[in-house]
């Protein structure tokens, strides 16, 4: 006697559940921003040392500081200097804020990768501007 599959009751397919991400609470969720703020004084000090090596060292460490000074952006020298000075102190806290937002949505590996790509984008823009 052959058993038919139509005689058996059909079971519903198990609903696929998305694994819930653990929500970090309190100040622990803000750790990338805190690290960015904490790194800033050391980065400013290292920028003074890297400036002795020439402009290439500063391009690698602070690309966002040098971007407002590019001539093709059309920013006045005084405004470009002010923005550059502000970016020297804001670059790493802004990286921390960006990493915090990406980390909440995508996780730590995506945050690290996106920060590296963002930084390399700015370095690449400076490289292209210097060689054009």
- The CA distance from 21 to 106, in Å, is 10
List Cβ neighbours of 44 (8 Å cut-off, separation of 6 or more). 88, 89
> Max Cα separation, the chain?
92
Query: 101-125: string of b/e by CB count within 10 Å (b at 16+)?
Result: ebbeeeeeeebeebbeebbeebbee
| pLDDT over 80 (residue 5) | no
Is the pLDDT confidence value at 67 over 80? yes
pLDDT tens-digit series, residues 99-125: 999 998 998 899 999 999 999 999 999
- Rounded to two decimals, what is the model's pTM? 0.70
Instruction: Note the pLDDT tens digit of each residue in 26-65.
Output: 667 788 888 888 888 888 888 788 778 777 788 888 899 8
pLDDT in the model for residue 32: 83
- Cα end-to-end distance, the chain, whole Å: 82
Please give the average per-residue pLDDT across 61-70, as a whole number: 88
């Amino acid at each position: 006697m052959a058993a038919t599959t139509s005689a058996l009751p059909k079971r519903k397919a198990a609903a696929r559940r998305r694994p819930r991400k653990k929500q970090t609470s309190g100040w622990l969720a803000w750790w990338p921003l805190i690290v960015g703020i904490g790194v800033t004084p050391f980065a400013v000090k290292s920028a003074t040392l890297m400036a002795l090596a020439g402009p290439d060292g500063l391009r690698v460490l602070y690309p966002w500081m040098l971007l407002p000074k590019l001539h093709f952006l059309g920013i006045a020298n005084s405004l470009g200097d002010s923005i550059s000075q502000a970016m020297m102190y804001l670059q790493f806290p802004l990286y921390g804020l960006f990493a915090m937002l990406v980390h909440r949505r995508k996780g730590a590996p995506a945050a690290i990768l996106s920060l590296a790509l963002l930084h390399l984008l700015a370095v690449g823009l400076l490289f292209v501007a210097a060689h054009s």
